[in-house]
Amino acid sequence: MRADTLKAMSDQFAMPFDAAASLEGVASAMAATRDGIDALLRDRGLRRTSPEDTAQSLLLGAASTASLELSEPIDPEALAAGEGAPTARAALRLSTELLGLVPVLRQSPLQAFARIHALAASGSVPDDELGRPAGPEGAERLGSLARRLTQPTTAPALVVAALAHADIATSRPFLSHSGVVARAVERLVLVERGVDPASVTVPEAGHAQDAWSYRSALTAFGAGTDEGTAQWLRYASLAFARGAESSPLATR
């Protein structure tokens, strides 16, 4: 298939962030969730947020993303002690380097996607597959998302993060670990766009707490309809709220 045809198909599937934000029920749901996140960060005091809070959030996120991949609970403390399946340990390895990719995501999203996949899949796929999309369709879907992430938008950052997540999770552009990459990109967008600069909320936990709804909403998004996109975004607003409740700050 010609490259220009692939690009046209990919861009047609990818709803602009602004248009998605205007779908029924999305703006109000995301605004309420953002208010809750802002209240948590303001009330607890971002100036008093410690590196330990961020590290704990990343650990909880790694355990949650691994539990979604493996369809079983993952004990964060056991994971921190070096126990767990390779997928879980890979998620933890990714979490330790993830925030260093914030400036990369801002300047070159494709490079960030590739590095996230390389960290997540290292040791489980051949080296020549690390960071490489699975064919031209996968490459074009990632390229389309990268273009949208570097263009101006008035859409709320929560909408951008949720759509980036769903785009990667449903298109599965890599041969493996696309779900892990999708959730990592979501967290990065929340940091890079100022929703959670210290990365102390746990969006992955918000998804893992209701895995059935998570998968159902992704399936709806994957249908490529306005209704499916709106369903995903309304679901994501609830998941982000649960992720805030899972923050180490919320237990102080």
pLDDT at 44: 63
Interhelix angle 178-192/109-121, rounded to 10 degrees, is: 130
Terminal alpha carbon distance of the chain: 55
Which range of residues forms the domain containing residue 190?
Answer: 3-251
Whether the CB-CB separation of 89 and 69 falls below 8 Å is answered with no
Q: Which tens digits make up the pLDDT trace of 76-124?
A: 999 999 999 999 999 999 999 999 999 999 999 999 999 999 999 998 8
Interhelix angle 135-149/3-13, rounded to 10 degrees, is: 50
Q: What's the whole-model pTM score?
A: 0.93
Burial of 231 (0-12, 13-18, 19+ CB in 10 A): buried
Q: For all residues of the chain together, what is the average pLDDT?
A: 92
Question: How large is the average pLDDT for residues 36-60?
Answer: 86
DSSP one-letter code for 251: G
Sign of the four-CA dihedral 79, 81, 86, 89: positive
> What span, in angstroms and rounded, lies between the C-alpha atoms of 167 and 121?
19
Question: How large is the average pLDDT for residues 155-168?
Answer: 98
Tokens 């390779």 belong to 86
DSSP 157-192: HHHHHHHHHHHHHHH--SSS-HHHHHHHHHHHHHHH
Q: Which tens digits make up the pLDDT trace of 230-249?
A: 999 999 999 999 999 999 99
Q: How far is CA 83 from CA 74, 80, 86, 128, in A?
A: 10, 7, 9, 27
pLDDT at 15: 81
| Number of domains comprising the chain | 1
Percent of the chain with pLDDT over 90: 86
CATH number of the structural domain spanning residue 188: 1.10.3290.10
pLDDT at 14: 67
Question: How large is the average pLDDT for residues 134-163?
Answer: 96
Model confidence band, residue 251 (pLDDT cutoffs 50, 70, 90): confident
Tokens of 225: 């309809």
Torsion angles phi and psi, residue 174, rounded to 5: -105, 160
Tokens of 45: 């005091």
Between 8 and 198, the more confident residue is 198
